[in-house]
Chains A and B, each alone.
Chain A
Amino acid sequence: MPKFSGASFTLLLVSGYNLAASITDSVSMGWENITEQTNPFGVASEAHSPVGIQKGILVAGGGIFDEVTDVLHRSIATVVGISRVVCAGIIGNIPGATFLGFEGAFSLEYSVQTEKDALTKADVTYLVSGAVDNGQIVQDQTAFVATWSTQTGGAVAVDAPVDFSVYEANRPIPITSNSIANPSVVTCPAPHGLVTGQIVIIAGVATSSPTINGSRAVTVISATTFSVPVNVALAGTGGTVTEASTVAGGAGYLQVAAYSGFTNVVVRIRHSPDDITYADLITFTTVTGITSQRVVVAGTVDRYLCSTGTITGSGSITPFSGFSRY
C-alpha cells in the first residue's frame, strides 16, 4: 500500500496562488456529512439522520510571512467577503492523482505570529461555503510557452490522458457469471452500483462464447445484475467489471498560478470514450491573468480526460486543472 507524507503535498492552490511552498506546519482539510440527532425520548441508543448537506473543512497553519518576495499573504489576508476556489494535491502534482477541490472558501480567520528569534508566520482558516470535490488531476501544474495538449504522451510520459478505468479509487467489481442470452445477463456477488448507459470494462471472464470481455455499455436489471449487448451461446464465469465512464457529470477546476505576455489562453478539458476521438467537456472562461475557476457539467463523462490550452500571442502560463466525477 503506498504511503504519503508532507513531501508529497506540493499543491495548495488558492485563487491561483500556490501556498504549499510557504506552509511549514500543517494543512487540515476534508468534509463532513452534516447529520441531525433523530432518536426520541425513551430509547437506549442515539440515532442520526443525514440532512443532505456536506461541510468542507480547510485550515492552513504556519505559513512563512513574506510580503516582499511573495504576495500570497497579502492576498489571503483579506478576510471579508472574498470567495476563493481552492485545489489541494495531497499525493503529488501528477496527472491522475487525487486532488481535493473547494468552492466558496472564505478566509474566516487570518493571524500573523511574530516571535523573538523566529520567522514570522501566519495561519489562515477558511469557511467553506460551497461544494467540496474529490477528483483527479488532469493537468499537473506546469509552465507552458506554447499551445499544449495532454492528449498524447507516449508510453512513459506522465502527461498522457487520465484513464478513469485505472484510477485507484475505481475498484473492479467481481463477476459471478454471465448467462446464455441476447443480451447476456451478468450477475455479481455484491451490488455493482452501475447505472444504465454507463460504459464498463469487463475482463477475465472465462468460457463465455462469444466473450463479453472488453468495453461494453450496460443496462442495469437489479442491484446485482446487468446486461451487456452480446448474444452469448455458452455461459461464462468469473472476471471483473470496472467503470469506464460516469453518467452524472462533474466539476472541473482550473487554477492559473503564473501568467505573462499572452493576449489570452483558452483552456479546455476534453474527454474520449476510446482514446481516438476527443470532445470538449469543459471550456473554461478565457484566461487573461492569474485566475481560478470551477465549472460544473452534466451528463456522461467519458473514460479518458485530457487538458488542452490554445494560446494567442507569446508569453508564459502555469496552469493546473482537475476533474471530479459525480
Chain B
Amino acid sequence: MPKTYRLIYSGAVTYPADPISLRAIKDAQGLSNLTEEQKSKLKFKTVQPGEDCSDMPKESLVLFLEAGRIEEYVDAPKVVTNA
C-alpha cells in the first residue's frame, strides 16, 4: 500500500500536478528556466496546510520530509456498519 503524506508546513505548497508537467520542468532543469508561456501550458497543484500531498514529485517529497514540512500519515479506519 503506497504511503500517504500531508502538509504540516505553515504555508501553501505548489508542485507540478502530472508527470508530463514534471518532465517538462526537469527537462528545463527547473521552473526558472521556463518562460511564463511555457509554464502556462503545464498543470500545477496547490496544497494547503493539513491537506494530502502524496502526489508531490518524489524528489521534492524527500526534501520536504527532511525539512519537516510534510509527514506520513495513515487514514483513520473507516467504520462499516451492516445494514
Contact = CB atoms under 8 A, between A and B. Distances in A.
Contacts, number: 84
B32 A276 contact: no
Contact of B15 (A155, A163, A277): A277
Interface residues of A, number: 27
Interface in A286-312: 300, 304
Nearest to B32: A160
Contact of A274 (B14, B38, B63): B63
Interface string A258-294: 0000000000001011111111110100000000000
Nearest to B61: A277
B11 A283 contact: yes
Nearest to A268: B11
Contacts of B67: 197, 273, 300
Contact of B39 (A151, A155, A161, A270): A151
26 contacts: A152-B31, A152-B34, A152-B35, A152-B36, A152-B38, A155-B33, A161-B32, A163-B32, A197-B66, A197-B67, A272-B31, A275-B25, A275-B30, A275-B32, A276-B30, A276-B31, A276-B59, A276-B60, A277-B13, A277-B64, A278-B13, A279-B9, A279-B11, A279-B64, A280-B13, A304-B32
Interface of B: 9-16, 22, 25-26, 29-36, 38-39, 56-57, 59-60, 63-64, 66-67, 69
Given A152-B31, A161-B31, 18 more contacts: A151-B39, A153-B33, A154-B35, A157-B35, A160-B33, A217-B66, A273-B60, A273-B63, A275-B31, A277-B57, A277-B60, A277-B63, A279-B9, A279-B13, A279-B69, A280-B10, A300-B67, A304-B30
